[in-house]
Amino acid sequence: MTTTRSHTPLRHLGPNWYATVMGTAIVASAGAALPGDTGGLRGAFEAVWAVAALALLVLLAARAVHWARHPDQARRHLADPAVAPFYGCLAMALLAVGGATLSVGSGVIGADAAVRADAVLWVTGTVVGLGAACAVPYLMVTRHRVAPGDASPVWLLPVVAPMVSAALGPALVPHLPAGQWREAMLLGCYALFGASLLATLVILPVVFSRLVHHGPLPLALTPTLFLVLGPLGQSTTAVGNLADVAPGAVGQPYARAMAGFAVLYGAPVIGFALLWLALATALVVRAFRGGMGFAMTWWAFTFPLGTCVTGAAGLARHTGLEAFTWLAVGLYAVLVAAWAVAGARTLAGLLSGGLLAAPRPAPVALGSTTVRTT
C-alpha cells in the first residue's frame, strides 16, 4: 500500500510539464538576445538557465519513472487527443535548454562544453520533434476521435517543434567545418522552417474556425490561445538567425536575399502576432472575469511570448529601428512577470500536492484531465 501511494504522484505527471522547462529557458535566452547592453543582468540570466537545465534533468528522470512504473497511464496519454500533442514539448524543452546553454550557459561551463551540450540537445530535440510532428498527427487521424468543437491551439505544439530547431540551429553553424557542412545545416534549418510553417498554416485556420463557430475555449484552456504566438515569433526569430549566419555558409546573392527575407517576412508576421496577442489577451481577461483559476495552461503565457521577444530583437538587429528594440524590451517585461507568476503558482501547487493529484471527473469532453495536463 505504501509503495502504491509513493508512486501515485508520478502516475499523473504528463508531458505537459516540459512546458515549465521551455518557459524558464526562454527567459534566459530571450534576455540575452535583447538589443543593447544587458551585461549587468548576465548573472540573472545564468541563474535562470541553471534552473531550466536542472528542471529538465529532473523531469527527464521523473518521466522515465512514469513510463517504467505506469505504462498504462503513459499509453492513455498518447491515446488522448488533448494530451498527446504535448509530446512536442519534450523536443522543445531539449532545444530551449540547448540554445540557452550556448547563449547564456557558456559563461558558466565554458564555450567548448556549451557547444557540445547544445549540439547534443539540438540533434536529440530535432529528432524527437520531427517524430512528434509526424506521430501525433498520425494518431489524430488513425486513433483519436476528435469532434469539430475539440480543435485547440494545443494541436500546434508538435508541429512547432521543428521551427524551434530552425531558430536555434543557426547558432551551431559557425562551429561546423566551412563548406558543405555549414551550407547543409543552414538549408536544413530552412527545410525545418518550411515544414513547421506550412503545418501551422494548415492547423491555425481550424483553430480560429473552432473559436468562431463554437465560442470561447473553456476557462482553464483559454491561456492556450497564446500558443499561436509560438510559430509566429519563432519563425521570425528563425529567419533572422539564419540571415545572421548566411554569409559564412552560402555565397551571394543568397546570403543577401536571406537578409532581405528576414525583414520582409518578419515584420508582417510580428504584426500579425501583435494582433493575435491583443485578441488572446482580451479572451483571457474575459476568462478571468468568468472565474478562471490557475492551471498548468498558464505556462502558455511564457515560451510563446518569449519567441516574440527574440523575433522583435532580430528585427531590431536587422533594421536598426528603435521601435523593435522597445517592443522586444516591453514584451520581455511581460514575459518575466508571466514566468514569475506561473512559476510561483506551480511551486505552490507542487508543495500542496494538488497539481499531481488524480484529476477529478468532469461533465465535458475537455474535462479536468485536459485542464490538468494543459
Q: Is residue 178 classed as helix, strand or coil in its secondary structure?
A: coil
pLDDT at position 74 over 90: no
What pLDDT score does 360 carry?
A: 61
The alpha carbon of 358 is separated from its chain's Cα centroid by a whole number of angstroms, namely 26
pLDDT value for 373: 39
* Residues sharing a CB contact under 8 Å with residue 12, sequence separation 6 or more, in sequence order: 73, 356, 357, 358, 359, 372
Residue 1 domain-assigned? no
Residues spanned by the domain of 364: 12-373
Cα 41 to chain centroid distance, Å, stands at 23
Instruction: Transcribe 165-233 into DSSP letters.
Output: HHHHGGGGGGGSPTTHHHHHHHHHHHHHHHHHHHHHHHHHHHHHHHHHHH-SPPGGGGGGGGGGHHHHH
Residue 28 pLDDT: 97
Identify the pLDDT of residue 366. Answer: 41
- What three-state secondary structure class fits 81? coil
- 268-288 pLDDT, tens per residue? 999 999 999 999 999 999 999
Q: Are 103 and 172 in contact (CB under 8 A)?
A: no
Q: Is the pLDDT of residue 316 over 90?
A: yes
Whole-prediction pTM value?
0.92
Q: Amino acid letter at 249? A: A
- High-pLDDT (> 70) share of the chain, %: 93
Reported confidence tier of residue 232, pLDDT bands at 50, 70, 90: very high
Domain contains 178:
yes
Query: Which grid coordinates are listed for 99?
Result: 540554445
C-alpha distances (whole Å) from 17 to each of 132, 133, 241, 300, 344 are: 16, 18, 28, 11, 15
* pLDDT score of 368: 37
Please state the separation of Cα 143 from the chain's center in Å.
25
Q: pLDDT at position 367, please?
A: 40
- The enclosing H or E element of 160 equals helix 157-168
Is 2 part of any domain?
no
Q: Is the residue at 3 inside a domain?
A: no
| pLDDT tens-digit series, residues 165-181 | 999 999 999 999 999 99
Is 4 part of any domain? no
CB 339 within 8 A of CB 23: yes
Query: Higher pLDDT residue, 247 or 353?
Result: 247
Residue 5 resides in a domain: no
Better-scored residue on pLDDT, 194 or 351: 194
CATH code of residue 288: 1.50.10.150
Q: How confident is the model at residue 8 (pLDDT cuts 50, 70, 90)?
A: low
Calculate the average pLDDT of the chain.
92
Is residue 331 a part of any domain in this protein? yes
- Say how far apart CA 163 and CA 311 lie, in whole Å: 13
Please check the confidence at residue 87 and state whether its pLDDT lies above 50: yes
d(CA 309, CA 270): 10
Domain count, the chain: 1
Q: Measuring CA to CA, how many Å separate 99 from each of 25, 119, 126, 160, 285?
A: 8, 9, 12, 16, 33
What pLDDT, in 10s, does the model give residues 14-37? 999 999 999 999 999 999 999 988
Q: Which three cell numbers stand for residue 32?
A: 540575452
Does residue 7 fall inside a structural domain?
no
| C-beta separation of 269 from 314 below 8 A | no
C-alpha distances in angstroms, 39 versus 42, 152, 265, 321, 347?
A: 5, 40, 30, 21, 29
Q: What is the pLDDT of residues 320-364, one digit of tens each?
A: 999 999 999 999 999 999 999 999 999 999 988 888 877 665 444
Task: Please classify residue 246 by burial: count the beta carbons closer than 10 Å to its beta carbon, then call 0-12 exposed, 13-18 middle and 19+ buried.
Answer: buried
pLDDT per position as a tens digit, 93-150: 999 999 999 999 999 999 999 999 999 999 999 999 999 999 999 999 999 988 878 8
Q: What confidence score (pLDDT) does residue 187 get?
A: 97
Given a cut of 70, is residue 307 above it in pLDDT? yes
- What pLDDT score does 39 carry? 79
Q: pLDDT band at residue 374, thresholds of 50, 70 and 90?
A: very low
Q: Do the beta carbons of residue 265 and residue 217 sit within 8 Å?
A: no
Q: Using CA atoms, how far apart are residues 150 and 82, in angstroms rounded to an integer?
A: 9
